[in-house]
Amino acid sequence: MARKWASTAVMLYLLIVAFMYWYIFSWADPAIPAVFKGTAADPSTFLNARELMLSEEYSEIRNFLFFASTPYEWLFYFLILLLGLSRAFEKWAVSVSKWRVLQTAIYLFWLSVLSFAAVFPFNYVSYSLGKKYNINTQDFASWMEDEVIDFWISFGEMILIVSVLYWLIRKRPKKWWLHAWLLSVPFSLFMMFVQPVLIDPLYNDFYPLKNKELEHKILELASKADIPADHVYEVNMARKTNALNAYVTGIGSNSRIVLWDTTLRKLADNEILFIMAHEMAHYVEKHIYIGIATYLLLTLAGLRITAWMMGYIIRRWGKVLKIPAVESISSLPLFLLISAVLLFASEPLSNYISRYEETRADRYAVEMTKDSGAAVRTFQELTRAGLSEVNPPALVKWFRYSHPTMLERISRLENYNSESRND
């Protein structure tokens, strides 16, 4: 039966990939609606012919990679169970040590190494694609360094999370999901607090904004919005990418306003101020806390569903999947598989909420800066720098876009201009 299940799973994966290839490369039409032709939202008005071609190519390949790699992760976890590798890792760990924490660390190390090797081709293709289209500027050695840092940070977090999770499963077999969720609340807040000062600096160098005149303008803007900010940071991203970005990170006393140095080099001050006003809007309208609340609610629902599904699947097909019981750490790939599928299924909802908040932030920023022209130019330059797709297909938008499309963002700004003139 295991062989039949494995071949069925592989066939299903190939069918999904074939469908998404047809959908992205043949069926989806990247052309913008006729009503937007010739407007500021029309990419042909601000991109040359070569940039238009590269944008379409790059976006299509990236979208396809996403929809190919996502179910590939599910397939990986499923095959790990069917082939008995998860059970073998557990037996190996138990034979090496009597300490549960050490057993967990040994099991997770081999599972993490195998997972790293399995997804590495997709990661490398994504890296190479960015290099080919001049989005990535990072050399291979530096990129591999980041990959290794990712591995060890994830490994360290997983030891803590999985050790606690399976301790709860053994101690609270019926309500472990609720206790796990309750513990996830302070843990998530703690990780958000330490992210800017402990984790982010492992990847890049952060330092106070060198342009003090611009920093003064940004802090003035923050003061108008009643945001307690003393410093603006820049990060040296030019050695890794040509894309542009800015963000507000952290919570409490560790919150920071951060600008990529690529943004500082390619945008004018009034365009940067629009971006900063947009980021400040998230603080003013409590989007960070709304995001935390949404995440925690989805996590609660996800853990409840995962607990029920794990119990049902192991009772019915535990022998085929080589899982003796829910509390056995060999069930971890099943936990990760169910969680990954649920996360993917929730993306349209979470992305919809995020796009709504981003639309609100755009509106707030243009009203605060009173410079819709700078806002339009900013989005046009963001499109050019990242070879972004202005009008993505529906499935791509639902599952990948946490921000409104550039077509939506620029056209709304033009509508705002019209409303302002009428007022």
Residue 60 is assigned to a ligand binding site: no
Q: Which residue carries 């179910």 as its tokens? A: 71
CA separation for the pair 208, 219 (Å, rounded) = 13
Residue 278 is assigned to a ligand binding site: yes
- Cα 247–chain centre separation: 14
Neighbour-count burial of 129, counting CB atoms closer than 10 A to its CB (0-12 exposed, 13-18 middle, 19+ buried): middle
- Cα 154–chain centre separation: 15
Please name the amino acid found at residue 49. A
CA separation for the pair 103, 226 (Å, rounded) = 50
Helix (H) / strand (E) containing 257: strand 256-260
- Respond yes or no: is residue 261 known to be catalytic: no
CA separation for the pair 75, 71 (Å, rounded) = 6
The region, left, alpha or beta by phi > 0 then psi within -120 to 50, assigned to residue 387 is left
Helix (H) / strand (E) containing 189: helix 176-194
Beta bridge partners of 234: 207, 259
Q: Are 70 and 30 in contact (CB under 8 A)?
A: no
- Respond yes or no: is residue 279 known to be catalytic: yes
Residue 287 is assigned to a ligand binding site: no
DSSP state for residue 285 in the 8-state scheme: T
Beta bridge partners of 232: 257
Q: Are 50 and 133 in contact (CB under 8 A)?
A: no
Q: How far is CA 212 from CA 60, 144, 219, 221, 229, in A?
A: 40, 34, 10, 14, 14
Q: Is 208 helix (H, G, I), strand (E, B) or coil?
A: strand
Which tokens is 158 given?
Answer: 């997983």
Cα pseudo-dihedral 220, 224, 229, 232, rounded to 10: -40
CA separation for the pair 390, 376 (Å, rounded) = 13
60, 215, 271, 279: the active-site residue = 279
Which tokens is 178 given?
Answer: 């609720």
90, 200, 357, 362: the active-site residue = 362
Please name the amino acid found at residue 371. D
CA separation for the pair 263, 274 (Å, rounded) = 12
Q: Is 211 helix (H, G, I), strand (E, B) or coil?
A: coil
Which residues touch 26 (CB under 8 Å, ≥6 apart)?
none
Active site positions, annotated: 279, 362
Sequence ranges of the binding site: 278, 282, 358
As annotated, the binding site for Zn(2+) includes 278, 282, 358
